[in-house]
């Protein structure tokens, strides 16, 4: 009778603490139970993605101060909440200097989050701005364990968005109909 299941982790990668639970980084499950036909368990990693950006916000959406700042939209397309302090963003091609949200909030499954890319470095306002001429945006784990999602967006005109359709997984395209905080069209 099988009484254990073994997991193989990538070399030099320790188990990671995510929220209150300890979730091992699983490269591949080995084992299961050949005697009973029980497959290895599936562990779902948090699923968050860059979903839409605006690098020249002239009149689309104002922040809480009435400023029309650039923004980055994230979407949680998984089944578990993601603590905002566990993710970081940068406008560099490497995830070496991350801005980490100063928030104890969680991004619930199915929810969207706007990060204001205005250089203010407070709350949900990043410490960098987006360039209308195009650049990198990288979403990574704040603990340095890896890049979650990234894109290099093209030059964008005023109030144009660069968005995925369908949300989270679709191809990127320039859009003249931005949908901040809502499903992309």
Q: Which residues contact 164 (CB under 8 A, 6 or more apart)?
A: 49, 50, 51, 52, 170, 171, 172, 184
> Looking at the whole model, is its pTM more than 0.75?
yes
Q: Tell me the domains of the chain and their CATH numbers.
A: 1-43 (no CATH), 48-175 (2.60.40)
Residue 31 is predicted with a pLDDT of 39
For the chain, 185 residues long, give each residue's pLDDT as a single digit of tens.
Answer: 433 333 332 333 333 333 333 233 222 333 344 555 666 656 567 799 999 999 999 999 999 999 999 999 999 999 999 999 999 999 988 777 899 999 999 999 999 999 999 999 999 999 999 999 999 999 999 999 999 999 999 999 999 999 999 999 999 999 999 999 999 98
Residue 46 is predicted with a pLDDT of 75
Q: What are phi and psi of 34, to 5 degrees?
A: -65, -30
Q: Which residues contact 171 (CB under 8 A, 6 or more apart)?
A: 164, 165
Residue 42 is predicted with a pLDDT of 60
Length of the chain: 185
Of 52, 44, 46, 40, whose CA–CA distance to 7 is shortest? 40
């Amino acid at each position: 009778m099988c009484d254990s299941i073994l997991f193989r982790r990538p070399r030099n990668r320790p188990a990671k603490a995510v929220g209150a639970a300890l979730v091992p980084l699983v490269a591949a499950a080995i084992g299961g139970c050949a005697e009973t036909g029980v497959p290895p368990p599936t562990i779902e990693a948090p699923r968050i993605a860059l979903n839409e950006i605006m690098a020249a916000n002239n009149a689309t959406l104002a922040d809480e101060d009435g400023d029309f700042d650039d923004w980055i939209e994230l979407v949680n397309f998984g089944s578990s909440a993601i603590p905002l302090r566990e993710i970081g963003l940068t406008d560099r091609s490497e995830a070496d200097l991350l801005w980490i949200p100063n928030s104890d909030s969680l991004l619930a499954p199915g929810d969207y989050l706007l990060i204001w890319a205005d250089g203010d470095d407070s709350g949900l306002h990043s410490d960098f701005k987006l360039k209308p001429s195009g650049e990198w945006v990288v979403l990574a784990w704040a603990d340095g364990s890896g890049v979650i999602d990234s894109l290099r967006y093209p030059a964008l005109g005023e109030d144009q968005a660069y968005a995925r359709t369908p949300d989270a997984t679709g191809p990127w395209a320039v859009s003249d109909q931005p949908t901040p905080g809502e499903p992309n069209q």
